[in-house]
Amino acid sequence: MTDIETMDREALAALQLLRFKRAVTTALKTPFYKKRLQGVGIRSAEDLKTLEDIRKIPYTTKEDLREAYPYGLLAVDKDDVVRMHASSGTTGTPTVIYQTQHDLDRWTDLTARSLVAAGCGRSDVFQNMMTYGLFTGGLGLHYGAEKLGMLVIPASSGNTKRQFQLMKDFGTTVVHATPSYMLHMYNRIEEMGYSLNDFKLKKALVGAEPHSEEIRQKIEKLYTIDVYNSYGLSEMNGPSVAFECTEKKGMHLWEDSYYLEIVDKHSLEPVPDGETGELVLSILIRTATPILRYRTRDLTSIIPGKCACGRTSRRINRIVGRTDDMLIINGVNVFPSQIEEIIMKMTEVGTNYRIIVKKEGVLDKLIVQTEVGPSIFSDDARDINALKNRIAENLRASITINPAIELHEPGMLPVQQGKAIRVVDERRKPV
Ligand code: DLL
């Protein structure tokens, strides 16, 4: 545990103010924040005297990041940037985050710190089952795990059989995966010719998608391991924004690096500790892409009181939902509007559609139901299948998920009196 993790709250507040001011100085170097901050009379960091003054700064939203694409939020010379990560967006415009080597080093420190909090050490063998690429889960966790000195297996996601083989051959003791993938893997162990006794697994770190305490316990029981919650978002670098320690009583949000607010989702005023609201975060440790008061859309609450582990960063509860309609399907973020845009561009598709998300076994399944002209049904079955494949392929190219497509005759899908209900998420049923 590093000193910064056990700092008393007063010293932490002083550090936050110092770092927030620095973040404002950085932000003022970007065209986006220059305009934003000057609009509310903030011309230099000296206009912030106390942490309270932070509330003068307007919120930043995902739409703002999209508008600033590609360089509106860049605060350093392009030559100083060494990495970028991006996530797909509702309109096809991605949001992009740049990092300098300094920024990556700070993120790596946080990841190493998070892994230590969850009880990992240098004698562990760490298999990272998060996707390597533009998604932050792969590389983000990778460097932190290396820094900690674990043997890192960069397995990336998918290919369950290979995951088992790696786990067995190299004696993997810790994995990071989505909770749904942990459950999915369990069901395949025997079928793929393995048994739990082949593995030395001790813990799973799970995140990137919402899951209940019941799911955690289920994974713990099935594998006889410890499971810890891992939270983050690409706008705040990625993983290691908040992580559970071995007490398993909520996630420490690393407050020396992120300024934390929880606000009422309607009034946007702060809520008292313990009450659920929208998590708003400012990153205090990044120089290439500053983001201040970002509305994460994630709903959570602060857990009052101190943690027995001795870390002084406050803890947040597991995420209980989102304020927007973003769906998280097997860890991949999808907005219903992305699906609508793609299918509605296809002339064969009618006016009504529905998006169904359900559990198939332990994984999420996306079904897109669309109405099509009646003539298609009188055609050859091969034409129907070809159309289904075309729709699926167009969607897959945009949202990276392979959906099942169901075609319906006009008027067959339900129509609502008021607002259309386009999304039926059947996963919310109790497990
Ligand atoms: O999911 C970063 C990440 C990678 C986190 C690996 C943890 C582990 P995004 O793709 O930008 O980034 O998605 C961020 O996913 O706003 C939440 O809605 C959701 N999310 C992430 N972790 C959790 C979690 C990565 N532990 C969005 N519990 C966030 C619930 C989570 N939801």
Of 299, 343, 341, the C-alpha closest to 89 is 341
HSE-CB of 137 using CA atoms within 13 angstroms: 22
Give residue 324 CA to ligand 1 midpoint distance, Å.
14
- The verdict on the CB of residue 16 being under 6 Å from ligand 1 is no
- Ligand 1 pocket mutation pick from 182, 205, 209 by most atoms within 8 angstroms of CB: 209
Give residue 409 CA to ligand 1 midpoint distance, Å.
38
- Ligand 1 pocket mutation pick from 110, 219, 229, 319 by most atoms within 8 angstroms of CB: 319
Residue 430: pLDDT band with limits 50, 70, 90 = very low
Residue 92: is its pLDDT beyond 70?
no
pLDDT value of position 91: 55
Give residue 356 CA to ligand 1 midpoint distance, Å.
21
Amino acid at 131: T
Weakest-pLDDT range from 29-38, 208-217, 292-301: 208-217
The position carrying tokens 């769906």 is 327
| Beta sheet of 226-233, edge-to-edge order | 151-153, 125-128, 174-177, 203-207, 226-233, 238-244, 251-253, 315-316, 302-303
At residue 89, φ and ψ (nearest 5 deg) are -125, 175
- The verdict on the CB of residue 298 being under 6 Å from ligand 1 is yes
- What is the C-alpha to C-alpha distance for residues 412 and 4, in angstroms, rounded to an integer? 60
For ligand 1, atom 16, the nearest C-alpha belongs to: 233
Q: What is the pLDDT of residues 302-324, one digit of tens each?
A: 999 999 999 999 999 999 888 88
**Burial 179-191, CB ≥16 within 10 A → b, else e:** bbbbbbbeeebee
pLDDT value of position 202: 98
Of 148, 97, 142, the C-alpha closest to 121 is 148
How many separate helices (H) and strands (E) can be counted in the chain? 11, 21
* Domain 327-428, CATH among 1.10.1740.10, 1.10.3720.10, 3.40.50.1980, 3.30.300.30: 3.30.300.30
> Is 341:328 a contact under the CB 8 Å cutoff?
no
Residue 383: is its pLDDT beyond 90?
no
Atom of ligand 1 at shortest distance to CA of 318? 28
For ligand 1, atom 4, the nearest C-alpha belongs to: 137
Residue 385: is its pLDDT beyond 80?
yes
- What is the C-alpha to C-alpha distance for residues 383 and 387, in angstroms, rounded to an integer? 6
- The verdict on the CB of residue 290 being under 6 Å from ligand 1 is no
Copy the structure tokens of residue 376: 């298609």
Cα 18 off chain centre by? 28
Q: What is the pLDDT of residues 228-268, one digit of tens each?
A: 999 999 999 999 999 999 999 999 999 999 999 999 988 99
- The verdict on the CB of residue 183 being under 6 Å from ligand 1 is no
Superfamily for the 1-323 domain: ANL, N-terminal domain (3.40.50.12780)
Specify the pTM: 0.87
If you average pLDDT over every residue of the chain, what do you get?
93
Region 377-402 average pLDDT: 89
Q: What is the pLDDT of residues 120-150, one digit of tens each?
A: 999 999 999 999 999 999 999 999 999 999 9
Sequence ranges of the domains in the chain: 1-323, 327-428
For ligand 1, atom 21, the nearest C-alpha belongs to: 208
| Beta sheet of 404-408, edge-to-edge order | 404-408, 363-372, 349-360, 423-425
